[in-house]
Structure 1
Amino acid sequence: MFVLIVGNTQDARADLEAAVADFGLDWQIALASDDAAAMAIAAQQHVDVAAVDLRSPGIDGPALLAAIRTRHPEVVRLLMLDDSQQDAAMAVMESAHRLLNKPLRADELIDAVESVGELRELLDSPHLKALIGNIVELPPAPSLYLKLTQVLNDARAPASAAANLVAQDPVMASKVLRLCNSAFFSGGRTVADIRTAVVRLGQDNLRRLVLASEVFNGSTSDNGIDREAMQLRALRASQLAARVLGGSSAELAATAALLADVGMLLPGVSVPKAGETTPDDRPHYAEAGAYLLGLWGLPMPIVEAVASHHQPGRSRSRGFWVGGAVHVARALVSGEAVDEDYLHSLGLHDRLPAWRQLAADMAAATT
């Protein structure tokens, strides 16, 4: 495997190569100091993995990864951020499969590459492809959400751009206002227009409301599901997941939790009860939902979290990240069992009582 690392990581090269040797991996590591050198290497070599600094002299990480994606879509794309750059995480996820901390650590790099490979194997499953291919009408991609995300990530867009975009769709605007005026968000105060909603809710909550409205009302399939209850549960799990994970990846966790049950909207999937295994050869709704999100082009960490939220311990990804937060939040909101063995393995079991109390407090505030 050919691994290209772009940034000021020369000091870490010896440690990386030693760790790769210890893991018995057949990796060849190349370093590039800027965008031009990276593209020159990519033009001459078959690159399997590109780990790129977000920004440093001569490097524009998102632009470089976007160029690599266009020319070499099979490359695993990883973006490295330090503590001062964490606020940019959500805005740059369109071009990266995973985020890595700086300075780069070999174990994090290896875990990221393996987990992305595992997810690609899942999403390339012939069984899933056959199921999705046989559905006459797939739920449409959340086009307004995707446009809204672009607007909110554009520093040049005026403050009113998000409200204007939602207001152009009267049906969507009415759905968003209905949710905004529900007990979950309003706090007893009526919101009469989209611009007020943006100010009161904040951009992230507006984005979640638009996504929830499109996803849970955009499918025409009828699986006997109470969509309104599912939507409320998803919004609660979304808020809780963001609080559980915190930090720069909180919004990723919130979005993934919001979409964790989207596969239930697809016909022909298995929806086992909590603690049960899939009773037949139908794909699990979580995996089917992840496949659908992949078709929609959502960021890979969200797809990965949705695919594994029901069995977080099976993921190759080490540590407690988006998938772990989604598992905890969804289980607590749905009244299902949390995988305590998983939390014990990460040394996080002592946080579970506080998370349970947080879930209870949030539920009490929205009923």
Structure 2
Amino acid sequence: MTRKTVRIALNGVTGRMGYRQHLVRSLLALREEGGLDLGDGTVLWPEPVLVGRREPALRAIADRHGLEHVSTDLDAVLADDSVEIYFDAQVTSAREEALTKAVAAGKHVYTEKPTASGLEGALTLARLARDAGIRHGVVQDKLFLPGLLKLKRLIDGGFFGRILSVRGEFGYWVFEGDWQSAQRPSWNYRTEDGGGIVTDMFPHWEYVLHELFGRVRTVQALTATHLPDRWDEHGKPYAATADDAAYGVFELDGGAIAQINSSWAVRVHRDELVEFQVDGTEGSAVAGLRGCRIQHRAATPKPVWNPDLPAGERFRDQWQEIPDNEPFDNGFKAQWELFLRHVYTGAPYHWDLLAGARGVQLAELGLRSAAEGRRLDVPEIQL
């Protein structure tokens, strides 16, 4: 067995997602397993190079995990021929420029979303990557959640018949930051810094809908800033200029209608932080992060509306839980493995920068729809 060391520049690992999911639970988890076996006698050994603006924070992470390489000079890292892959988990406003530099340096790129602040920038990135002949991928982690993998199993097996509708509920209460600290960074709530729930979540909904149910054809959205006053990481008050809730309706290829509510100002009364209910002619399902419950047409009860009497049925008990049937790995790690195989074996991989551009497009149109108060077509984009 031959071990091949792969040096990967990770920009943004001081943030929660970059650190927990991409560094610790993906690349370091691969190292704990002995590397990624490509099946041809080669094992890939990820060697992270931590990049960012705050060297003490980077050095603390490196020391904690026994890593050697940190840098605050992105240009120098990209000029290093031994670095083969660049990964970006920075704040949204910094991502487009860094990815452009990485592509120009000939690095394979893997990135969080949104890939750019607007559709034109996202498409430009995709074209640059195509012309440079590099491998490129965009994180689309929710496709790898156990709940959505079970949902896809149902779709592929024809369980639903004709799919009629998709209802999504996502969100939780993000504290304002005054008497309890906020769970999200303050830039998320400032439009000028690339914040907003539409920018953050509509790219997710695009790939979930596109991959599972069909391309989004139209969007109609209503946005709100429910909590206009917040406090930052230093306890300083600031005005929230970005949307913290969005209510979207999407028409899909095939005729299904999707409705997805996204909010950082909602208290959770559901089993998981995100849930999708899918209704079809032959059956329905409710899928979350991990679980998935179904109700088949033949087992559907016949409730009767009677406001004069208390409900005599326990509706949740009328659904059947889908078994795991297989172990599920961390979704971020699973996609990292697929991307690394794509880079080093040429294995198929279609979650690329063009897919990322579709997410940016939907967010852009969602914000425009809310501003103009009308439904908008979602044109099919190509390079």
Q: Fold-level match, TM-score > 0.5? A: no
Name the one with the larger helix percent.
1
Larger Cα Rg: Structure 1 or Structure 2?
A: 2
What TM-score comes out, normalization by structure 1 length?
0.29
What TM-score comes out, normalization by structure 2 length?
0.28
Name the one with the larger strand percent.
2
